[in-house]
Amino acid sequence: MPQRPPPNLQLPPADLEGVGDDTWLDVIHKMEEVYSKLVSDEVELEEKNAQLEQSQQFIFSLLSSMSDVLIACNQDGLIEESNAALCELVGRSEQDLRGTPVPDLLADAQSVQRWQLAMYHAAAHEVAVVELNLRDAHGLPVPVDMSCTPRHNSTGRQVGRVLVGRPLGEIKRAYHQLREAHDALKLAQQQLLHSEKMASLGRLVAGVAHELNNPISFVLGNVHVLQRYGSRLGRYLEALHQLDLPTPVQALRQELRIDALLKDLPSLMEGTLEGAQRTADIVNGLKRFSSASQGEVTQVELNAVVERAIHWVQKGTAPHFEIHWTRGPDCFVSGNAGQLLQVMMNLIQNAADATSANTAADAARAAAPQLWISLVQQDGQVQLRFSDNGPGIAPAHLSHIFDPFFTTKSVGKGTGLGLSISYGLVEQHGGRLAVANLPQGGAEFTLILPRA
CATH value at residue 327: 3.30.565.10
In a domain, 304, yes or no: yes
Let me know whether 311 and 429 are in one domain.
yes
Let me know whether 233 and 370 are in one domain.
no
The answer to whether the beta carbons of residues 165 and 146 sit under 8 Å apart is yes
Lowest mean pLDDT among 145-159, 168-182, 328-342: 168-182
Q: Which of 290, 311, 336 is the last residue of a domain?
A: 290
Q: Which of 244, 261, 290 is the last residue of a domain?
A: 290
Mean pLDDT of the chain: 79
Let me know whether 239 and 307 are in one domain.
no
Let me know whether 315 and 424 are in one domain.
yes
Q: Are strands 332-335 and 370-378 parallel, antiparallel or unpaired?
A: unpaired
In a domain, 49, yes or no: no
In a domain, 30, yes or no: no
Give just the sign of the alpha carbon dihedral 41, 46, 47, 51.
positive
- Which range in 2-11, 119-128, 153-162, 274-283 is most confidently predicted, on average pLDDT? 153-162
72-82 pLDDT, tens per residue? 999 888 999 88
The answer to whether the beta carbons of residues 208 and 286 sit under 8 Å apart is yes
In a domain, 109, yes or no: yes
| Count of other CB atoms within 10 angstroms of residue 311 | 11
Q: Going along 34-137, which residue ranges are E strands?
A: 69-74, 79-82, 128-135
Let me know whether 274 and 309 are in one domain.
no
Residue 41 binned pLDDT confidence (cut-offs 50, 70, 90): confident
Range 375-396 average pLDDT: 90
Let me know whether 303 and 278 are in one domain.
no
Let me know whether 338 and 247 are in one domain.
no
**C-alpha span between 170 and 451 (Å, rounded):** 34
pLDDT at position 433 is 92
207-225 pLDDT, tens per residue? 667 677 778 887 888 888 8
Which of 142, 132, 127 lies closest to 102 in space, CA to CA? 132
| pLDDT surpasses 90 at 200 | no
294-326 pLDDT, tens per residue? 456 889 999 999 998 898 888 777 788 899 998
Q: Going along 283-401, which residue ranges are E strands?
A: 298-301, 322-325, 332-335, 370-378, 381-388
Let me know whether 164 and 192 are in one domain.
no
Q: Which of 273, 290, 307 is the last residue of a domain?
A: 290
349-364 pLDDT, tens per residue? 888 888 886 554 454 4
pLDDT at position 294 is 46
Domain count, the chain: 3
In a domain, 257, yes or no: yes
In a domain, 215, yes or no: yes
| Count of other CB atoms within 10 angstroms of residue 244 | 5
In a domain, 218, yes or no: yes
| pLDDT surpasses 90 at 384 | yes
Let me know whether 391 and 423 are in one domain.
yes
Let me know whether 306 and 434 are in one domain.
yes
Let me know whether 313 and 374 are in one domain.
yes
84-115 pLDDT, tens per residue? 888 888 899 988 999 999 999 998 999 899 88
The answer to whether the beta carbons of residues 346 and 419 sit under 8 Å apart is yes
CATH value at residue 91: 3.30.450.20
Lowest mean pLDDT among 4-18, 121-135, 256-270, 346-360: 4-18
In a domain, 24, yes or no: no
Q: Which residues span the domain enclosing 151?
A: 63-172
Let me know whether 123 and 214 are in one domain.
no
